[in-house]
Chain A
């Protein structure tokens, strides 16, 4: 069973995209920002409408209606695929397939906010969100949409420098990937933990059993560089 909440979506080109659905807290924050913006807009409109009498009142009521129901639709169909609040948190609304959200889907998911809101304060939506691994509220379920993080997090950075070393034996693809991934996490782990993990790959480094931990780490980093294709300082 997968522990993370990645959501696999396949493109028409046969490429699987890994989407990362956004959870309750991020979405609540985005909603709060949007709520503030809507409130501000409504305030500005009411200042303008106040001058215009009955016609202004009509305008104000229609503006309220549009802000309530169509504010998110307009932004979701735009280039960013997200309301300003979602944009601020790096979120985006996409279809299950990873495609941009369609008009019908955006309308459905926003009309169903009325159902998600019941019985109070989006309780139904929050329940649905918490019960599912892909964090969909009722509107998302009916429309077939997902709220995802726009950028994927980077757990692995560039490798620390080390002279390339040929591995002591032939490595399978999965082993190569594991060693490179280990090396890529060098800047995020404490040196002790980094060395401890390196111990697991001791046979690959081709060092005698008594060698010091730091040497092993350095050598294994070298193997990682060698796997990536560095060859110049080969010994």
Chain B
């Protein structure tokens, strides 16, 4: 049998070459010899297996181990994004992932819409009802925002304020969407909480504003961007419920495997929800707040947007054969 010393002497040059190549690759060199790296990597795998089987001294095995690990990382490094992938995502992957989560979507929509409608109805019946949820100061703020006064939303304002609001909506709303998804890991309870909470809040405020006679100001402001924003929140919540379901009822997989599986699928929906929230932020900042647009026009655009979003999620990206059949 080859002794450790002979083994080391025989292959020292190979390992040194691999080490040089790795230093180059890890240092960020654009043009290193990838084929040579792959060859040397396979040889170091071989040598490592031999060294282990023959119980060679640890300093030798460890050197091989660390070389192999480094090469392994270089060889299986994921390649960068391509534009084609992005197009596939928008045209196929995202709508398909949404449809694959149909059941969760229904539950999430129910968790969001039912409290919203219930509270909208309750505070429309009784304007005082909103005080159960908010304190009087916050209610006055909403009054001022959507009322006819000069501080109201959608007043004519300079363009850079629009930009500022755009930034704010990006930071705030997408963050809420992400939280809605992440909290799902606690058996789905977190996502359900965020959905119900947001539903209650939006419903109560909406019902209150309508009963106070600010219906036109309020509805013409929210109608358009809600097509993207409410859909995205429900989608993020549905993705979170998927995580929670995997934790609660893993089925035939191990709990951990089920969770990882669920997360891999659900994150596609979250990417899409984030994209929708970016659209919503832009619409909310630059279109919803524009007072020079007549409410009737806004309602028309809003209806078109709702149809667009629902149609996109329901029909975009079906496989060819399914469409033919």
Where the two chains meet, the residues of A that have a C-beta atom closer than 8 Å to any C-beta of B are: 11, 13-15, 17-18, 53-55, 57-62, 64-65, 68-69, 77, 79-81, 94, 98-105, 107-108, 111-115, 118, 138, 141-144, 151-152, 154-159, 173-174, 176-177, 180-181, 184, 227-230
- Knowing A144-B260, A152-B65, the reply to whether A107 touches B267 (Cβ < 8 A) is yes
Residues of A within 8 A of B4 (CB): 180, 227-229
Residues of A within 8 A of B183 (CB): 114-115, 118
Give the complex CA separation of A94 and B69 in angstroms: 11
* Residues A152 and B62 in contact, CB atoms below 8 Å apart: yes
Q: Which of A60, A68, A174, A229 contacts B55 (CB 8 A)?
A: A174
* Residues B185 and A115 in contact, CB atoms below 8 Å apart: yes
B158 within 8 A of A: yes
Nearest CB in chain B to that of A68: its residue: B175
* Residues A58 and B181 in contact, CB atoms below 8 Å apart: no
10 A-B pairs with the lowest CB-CB distances in the bound complex, closest first: A54-B160, A229-B3, A229-B5, A61-B167, A58-B167, A114-B182, A177-B55, A58-B163, A142-B263, A115-B182
- Knowing A177-B57, A229-B4, the reply to whether A59 touches B185 (Cβ < 8 A) is no
Count chain A CB atoms within 10 A of each CB in B168, B174, B178, B186 and give the residue with the most: B178
Where the two chains meet, the residues of B that have a C-beta atom closer than 8 Å to any C-beta of A are: 3-7, 26, 28, 42, 45, 48-49, 54-59, 62, 65-66, 68-69, 72-73, 76-78, 81, 158-168, 170-171, 174-175, 178-179, 181-186, 190, 243, 256, 259-260, 262-264, 267-268, 270-271
* Residues B78 and A65 in contact, CB atoms below 8 Å apart: no
Closest chain-A Cβ to B317's Cβ sits at a distance in Å of 18
- Knowing A17-B68, A62-B171, A227-B4, the reply to whether A54 touches B161 (Cβ < 8 A) is yes
* Residues A58 and B182 in contact, CB atoms below 8 Å apart: no
Nearest CB in chain A to that of B239: its residue: A111
Nearest CB in chain B to that of A157: its residue: B59
Give the complex CA separation of A161 and B73 in angstroms: 36
* Residues A156 and B57 in contact, CB atoms below 8 Å apart: yes
Give the complex CA separation of A180 and B57 in angstroms: 6
* Residues B166 and A58 in contact, CB atoms below 8 Å apart: yes
Residues of A within 8 A of B164 (CB): 54-55, 57-58, 61
* Residues B78 and A64 in contact, CB atoms below 8 Å apart: no
Give the complex CA separation of A177 and B181 in angstroms: 51
Residues of B within 8 A of A158 (CB): 59
Closest chain-A Cβ to B97's Cβ sits at a distance in Å of 12
Residues of B within 8 A of A102 (CB): 78
Nearest CB in chain B to that of A185: its residue: B58
Residues of A within 8 A of B184 (CB): 115
- Knowing A99-B72, A118-B183, A157-B59, the reply to whether A152 touches B66 (Cβ < 8 A) is yes
